[in-house]
Structure 1
Amino acid sequence: MSYALLFSGQGTQHPAMLPWLADDAIVRGMCVRLGVGDWRRALADPEWAERNSNAQMLLTSLALAAWGQLAPMVPPPAAVAGYSVGELAAFSAAGVIDPGAAVALAPQRAEAMDRCAAHAPGGLLAVSGLPEQRLEQLRTEAGLELAIRNGNASMVLGGPVAALDEAERMALAAGAQCTRLRVNVASHTPWMREAAESFFQTLAKVPFSAPRVVLFSNTGDRMRDANSARTALTAQIAQTVRWDECMENIMARQVRCVLEVGPGQALARMWNQRYPTVPARACDDFRSAAAIAAWLNSHSDR
């Protein structure tokens, strides 16, 4: 079997996510850290769910719990990548950092970003349906930065709230599809530079190892050693996420299928649109870990 793991980013968390997930030690520890008795009930409150510190802790913990419960049923993946904050779980799944360390880093990453946002409030806007040149023109006119590059006709813009409002108005008038992401920071843009510098100091105290499986970062590069992995986790906070390149690198590994670990189906959907001959599914599509393993195994002899 040759498959890739993609770990979801922030913004699609919902109370019914990962319906098969068991209440294990990681999940219970997460609830204690977040001060909630039932994380699904907590997610039903949009204000709580969209709070940066809550979301990053929850997504990292649940992704690692999900992978920990699934991993004993399947062979190691051929490639791993994570989208935005999903990199914490991805790097842990690849053996770069301990799961406990990844969970502990999530709120520290969020805190560093929130400090930046306190004096420069911002957010993210997904825009698609326009030619790449027009999208770039719109970004420049609105005074935004390219936060995430998903493909030629799909990008996520980041920056101050007022600039996002103007970009959304212009994009809709031009016939684009727009979605304001459920985040309150201008992730992956220069507005987060201080957060990246702060997080680098945090990561300097954390043991890192070389990846045990093929690991690609949001910078578009393959991680081969501990130092490059530490640098990549820092850089992506204030630099463009090159997800299109991540997908290209994974496809080059000639995987037979792709599994998204996390909430929703956004990454699986992007993959299927780009590479329709290599199927992708999301953990949210299944009712049990055994069903996920069976789907992965069904592609082992193709």
Structure 2
Amino acid sequence: MSFALVFSGQGMQHPAMLPWLAPDDALVRLTCAQLEVADWRTSLEDSGWAACNRHAQCLLTGLGLAAWQQLATDLPSPAAIAGYSVGELAAFSAAGVFDAATALALARDRAEAMDRCATHTPGGLLAVSGLAMSLLEPLCHATGVAVAIRNGVDSAVIGGPHAALARAESQALQHHAHCTRLKVHVASHTPWMQTAADGFAQTLAPLPLQRPRSPLFSNAADRILDAAQAKAALAAQIAQTVRWDECMDNLAARGVRCVLEVGPGQALARIWNQRYPDIPARACDDFRSAAAVVAWVRSHA
């Protein structure tokens, strides 16, 4: 049995996500305690609370790991693991680099470092599709933004200060691209986050991380083989382009038979199916029970 495990990033969180997730799970309770909320689903009904960087990063890390722990008892180890943006914290934990409690603490520290950085240069992210990278990259240079995430040949996320992002959106629309503002209030994965990346590197430096137990791939590097590489990659991706296109290629090169996305929405599964139509991908949000998720993976892997 061979499957890849990928963890979603923020922006798609919603109150009905992961409908089968056990509410009395210890990690779910720990996540709620860190966020100081009684019920995360009720909290997500408040759009302002849901869009808060600290809330989203902690919630997705904790719930992603809780969901995977509930599935892992009935599935073998993945052939490859990766996470999208903040999803890397859950991915690295699932691969054995650090435990779930450490992942939650790191999610809080990561978000706070990024929020502090954003107070000096407020910004955001814009998803752009239907525009080739050969056109998007010079557009970014001309308007003063940067490519934050590469998803495919004509699909990316750009980021930067608000005024520059508005200029970039206007020019992209003139090229008949499709543009969507993301529910993120920081210019993640761009040079404007370098101070946050440096601060997070200092947070990671003293931690006794472990080498991955499963093949683990990074947004900022390639395969992660030891603790030193893990620390460098987790810090670097805050201010560098997320190379999700290359990350998917690395997963496919492992010969996986299917891909399971853990987290809210179906964005990663959709991107994967467009790139690799012969290797099916599904998201945990598609299913009404953990047993159904396990059955799908077993039937395809």
- Shorter-chain TM-score: what band? over 0.9
Larger displacement relative to structure 2 (162-171 or 110-119): 162-171
1:99, distance to aligned residue in structure 2 (A): 1.0
C-alpha separation between the residues in 2 aligned to 1:57 and 1:187?
16
Contact preservation (8 Å) 1:220, 1:243: no
| Correspondence for 2:115 | 114
Larger displacement relative to structure 2 (232-241 or 24-33): 24-33
C-alpha separation between the residues in 2 aligned to 1:76 and 1:59?
21
Contact preservation (8 Å) 1:115, 1:195: yes
The residue correspondences of 1:1-302 to structure 2 (distance < 5 A) are 1-23=1-23, 24-300=25-301
Aligned AA for 1:141? A
Aligned AA for 1:164? L
1:220, distance to aligned residue in structure 2 (A): 4.0
Contact preservation (8 Å) 1:61, 1:103: yes
C-alpha separation between the residues in 2 aligned to 1:251 and 1:273?
13
C-alpha separation between the residues in 1 aligned to 2:258 and 2:90?
20
1:137, distance to aligned residue in structure 2 (A): 2.2
Q: Which runs of 5+ in 2 are unaligned?
A: none
Contact preservation (8 Å) 2:220, 2:237: yes
Larger displacement relative to structure 2 (259-268 or 128-137): 128-137
Aligned AA for 1:86? G
Q: Can you list the C-alpha shifts for 1:74-119, whole angstroms capped at 9, x where unaligned?
A: 0000000000000000000000111110011111000000000001
For the residue of structure 2 that corresponds to 1:298, the secondary structure is helix
1:12, distance to aligned residue in structure 2 (A): 0.6
Aligned AA for 1:175? H
1:205, distance to aligned residue in structure 2 (A): 2.5
1:299, distance to aligned residue in structure 2 (A): 1.7
Contact preservation (8 Å) 1:188, 1:239: yes
1:34, distance to aligned residue in structure 2 (A): 1.0
Contact preservation (8 Å) 1:142, 1:164: yes
C-alpha separation between the residues in 2 aligned to 1:221 and 1:28?
33
C-alpha separation between the residues in 1 aligned to 2:119 and 2:132?
34
What TM-score do you get using the length of structure 2 for normalisation? 0.98
C-alpha separation between the residues in 1 aligned to 2:133 and 2:85?
22
C-alpha separation between the residues in 1 aligned to 2:205 and 2:261?
29
Contact preservation (8 Å) 1:220, 1:245: no
How much identity, in percent, do the aligned residues show?
A: 67
C-alpha separation between the residues in 2 aligned to 1:211 and 1:38?
32
C-alpha separation between the residues in 1 aligned to 2:259 and 2:117?
35
What TM-score do you get using the length of structure 1 for normalisation? 0.98
For the residue of structure 2 that corresponds to 1:259, the secondary structure is strand
Contact preservation (8 Å) 1:57, 1:107: yes
Contact preservation (8 Å) 1:101, 1:206: no
Aligned AA for 2:214? V
For the residue of structure 2 that corresponds to 1:123, the secondary structure is strand
For the residue of structure 1 that corresponds to 2:76, the secondary structure is coil
The size of the alignment, in residue pairs, is 300
Contact preservation (8 Å) 1:10, 1:59: yes
C-alpha separation between the residues in 1 aligned to 2:123 and 2:16?
28
C-alpha separation between the residues in 2 aligned to 1:220 and 1:261?
21
Q: Can you list the C-alpha shifts for 1:117-175, whole angstroms capped at 9, x where unaligned?
A: 00110011111102222212221121101111111211111100111111111111221
- Aligned structure 1 segments of 4 or more residues deviating by more than 4 angstroms: none
Q: Which runs of 5+ in 1 are unaligned?
A: none
1:6, distance to aligned residue in structure 2 (A): 0.5
C-alpha separation between the residues in 1 aligned to 2:288 and 2:27?
20
